[in-house]
Amino acid sequence: MTNKNHYSDENKLSRQELVDFVATLSESDLKTHMPVDWTVSAVLAHLAFWDFRAITLIKKWQAEGINPSPNDVDVVNESTRPFFIAIEPHRAAKITLDYALALDDLIDSLDPAFIQAIEKNGKTVHLDRASHRRMHIREIKTSLSTK
Would residue 69 count as lying in a domain? yes
Would residue 1 count as lying in a domain? no
Query: How many domains are there within the chain?
Result: 1
Exposed / middle / buried, residue 65 (Cβ in 10 Å: 0-12, 13-18, 19+): exposed
Mapped onto helix, strand or coil, the DSSP state of residue 142 is: helix
pLDDT in tens, 16-67: 999 999 999 999 999 999 999 999 999 999 999 999 999 999 999 999 999 8
| pLDDT for residue 1 | 43
Phi and psi, residue 138, nearest 5°: -60, -45
pLDDT band at 3 (very low <50, low <70, confident <90, very high): low
Domain housing 48: 8-145
The yes-or-no verdict on residue 108 having pLDDT over 70 is yes
Would residue 60 count as lying in a domain? yes
Would residue 68 count as lying in a domain? yes
Q: What is the CATH number of the domain that holds 118?
A: 1.20.120.450
pLDDT in tens, 55-100: 999 999 999 999 888 889 999 999 999 999 999 999 999 999 999 9
Would residue 86 count as lying in a domain? yes
Would residue 2 count as lying in a domain? no
